[in-house]
Homo-oligomer: A and B are copies of this chain.
Amino acid sequence: MRGFSREEYQRRCQSVQVNMQDCGIDVLWLSTEADVRYLTGFLTQFWQSPTRPWYLLLPQSGMPVAVIPAIGEPCMQRTWVEDIRTWTSPYPDDDGVSLLVDTVIDLAGQDATIGLPMGPETHMRCPLADLERIRRHLGNARWEDATSLIRQVRQIKSAAEIDKLRHVCAIASRTFADVPLFARAGMSEMDVFRAFKIACLQHGADDVAYLVGAARAGGYDDIISPPGDHVLVDGDVLILDTGCTFDGYFADFDRNYAINRVEVATASAHQRTWDATEAGLASIKPGVTCSTVFTAMHRVLAPGRGGASLVGRLGHGLGIQLTETPSITELDQTVLMPGMVMTLEPGFSYAPGRVMVHEENVVVTDDGYELLSVRARRDIPVIV
């Protein structure tokens, strides 16, 4: 259940390498947790420490090469990567710079075309001064944006990845089902959040890396804040939106609850987002664009009205990051393909200062979709 086969990593690297050949990229330089882990299986919370850079080089053929601080060598040795080059870090005068340069030259020569992620939703986890230094040292190299060639591969999940996502979504579903057992009027938001995290761990999550939400009279206005000391009272609407993880894969969906009673406007807003999700689900099959799924949901949310929501989209990709490409927006023309795992997340403002957001996780199949989250009921649950 944990980890992946060597063949899985080989397939991932080879898929990226086919794209590199098409684009004439000799070597790919990656630096973030998600990209490095995707191609190697290097799984550690040590990325929390900003001190040390971690690099991976993928040549156009053959295996990836890790260029990492020595503290990570035993952990990297457990992956399928064989060529691991280390330096003792932190060493501010040369924190991997010359080792990276030497390794690039080893793999692809002085005149290499080097790909790195430069586009939307990416960044280089590398000090800017080091990036400049590396560019100077590799003065004859060409630098190309490799965002889309990685993204195309990461977007399509393998059967083994889908198993993990199915598993973590089931853990989140079981935890949400428990909320009426532990949340009640008189508890503070913080107490509810703490109980949720503990329940999530007890149900088998490795971590609860993301839990946001709020409880407010009649509805909430902010869906990214940590819990406050507000004490739940009758008439509150509680939203919990979790990104818990299992073996490095995220669930990401929310659930709404009313405390003891529910206003008509709130009940109706919940039904509206549920209906929008239903319309989105009905539109999902291979060959359809994200824009089409957006339109299906947006029509239900805001009949006759255009305009973007606060959230800016009605869903997104899901996998080793809480949010991945593509986005379910009016403009995103990404075509859905089997193996893409998505959240549908319709939301709208139904009164001043009151937002309703509803979310489910699905995988695109050969002829439609499979729900990964246990579908919410159309009526907002009332906790009494």
Contact = CB atoms under 8 A, between A and B. Distances in A.
A198 B202 contact: yes
Nearest to A212: B45
A50 B150 CA distance: 15
Contacts of A197: 201, 207
Interface stretch (A13-21, A106-114, A124-132, A373-381): A124-132
A126 B123 contact: yes
Interface string A179-204: 00000000000000010011001100
Given A44-B224, A49-B322, A226-B45, A95 B120 contact: yes
A45 B210 contact: yes
Contacts of A224: 44-46, 71-72, 75
Contact of A74 (B45, B127, B221): B221
Interface of A: 2, 32, 34, 43-46, 48-52, 69-75, 78, 88-92, 95, 116-129, 132, 145, 194, 197-198, 201-202, 206-212, 221-226, 228-229, 243, 308-313, 316, 321-323, 327, 329, 331
Contact of A50 (B121, B207, B310): B121
28 contacts: A2-B229, A34-B50, A43-B225, A44-B224, A44-B225, A46-B212, A48-B323, A49-B321, A51-B323, A51-B327, A71-B310, A74-B221, A74-B222, A78-B222, A88-B308, A89-B312, A90-B327, A91-B331, A116-B128, A118-B128, A118-B129, A118-B132, A119-B127, A121-B127, A123-B123, A123-B125, A124-B128, A198-B198
Given A120-B127, A124-B128, 13 more contacts: A46-B224, A50-B122, A50-B123, A51-B316, A69-B312, A71-B312, A72-B224, A78-B222, A117-B128, A119-B127, A128-B145, A197-B207, A198-B201
A229 B78 CA distance: 14
Nearest to A208: B207
A321 B327 CA distance: 30
Nearest to A95: B120
A50 B90 contact: no
A59 to B, nearest CB: 21
Contacts of A122: 50, 127-128
A353 to B, nearest CB: 9
Contacts of A119: 92, 127, 129
A122 B128 CA distance: 8
A197 B209 CA distance: 12
Nearest to A220: B74
A252 to B, nearest CB: 9
